[in-house]
């Protein structure tokens, strides 16, 4: 529970990809890491979308935990994503390790994305539909 004087630290709705249309990047890039596939568009407004299917993580507890961790890392690094919309898709390997995962593990995956964006990699362009 949040104490009366504490500011609420959550990701506001304006920082989330909410509708189906929001998830379709016209011209974007992608990066595949060990556990996630990141789709991102650098002409966005600093929003995040997360897709974790039952096929990847069967337990709702697992999906919700990973979503919370992803949102928390994004929120803490929101300044780095000022003009970048990011769609995070969980991969099958995530099912093997989700119970041991902490915020630092998700942060490591996002650091790969940060480095990729800062290096200006364009090798994996795609056309979103």
pLDDT tens digits for range 32-91: 998 999 999 888 888 999 999 999 999 999 999 999 999 999 998 888 888 889 999 999
Confidence band, pLDDT 50/70/90 cuts, at residue 103: confident
- Per CATH, is 20-121 categorized as 3.30.230.10? yes
Average model confidence (pLDDT) across the chain: 82
| H or E element at residue 51 | strand 48-51
pTM for the full predicted model: 0.81
Cα angle value 45/49/53 (rounded, 5°): 170
pLDDT of 7 reads 52
**47-66 burial string, b = 16+ CB within 10 Å, else e?**
bbbbbbeeebbeeeebbebb
Query: What was the pLDDT predicted at 128?
Result: 45
9 Cβ contact list (under 8 Å, min separation 6): 75
């Amino acid at each position: 529970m949040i104490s009366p004087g504490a500011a609420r630290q959550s990701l506001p709705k304006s920082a989330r990809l909410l509708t189906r249309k929001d998830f379709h990047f016209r011209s974007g890039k992608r990066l595949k890491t060990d556990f996630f596939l990141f789709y991102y568009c650098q002409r966005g407004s600093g929003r995040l979308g997360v897709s974790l299917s039952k096929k990847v993580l069967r337990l709702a507890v697992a999906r919700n935990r990973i979503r919370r961790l992803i949102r928390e890392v994004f929120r803490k690094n929101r300044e780095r994503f000022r003009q970048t919309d990011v769609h995070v898709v969980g991969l099958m390997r995530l099912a093997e390790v989700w119970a041991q995962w902490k915020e630092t593990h998700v942060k490591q995956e996002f650091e790969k994305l940060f480095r990729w964006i800062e290096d200006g990699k364009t090798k994996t362009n795609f056309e979103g539909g």
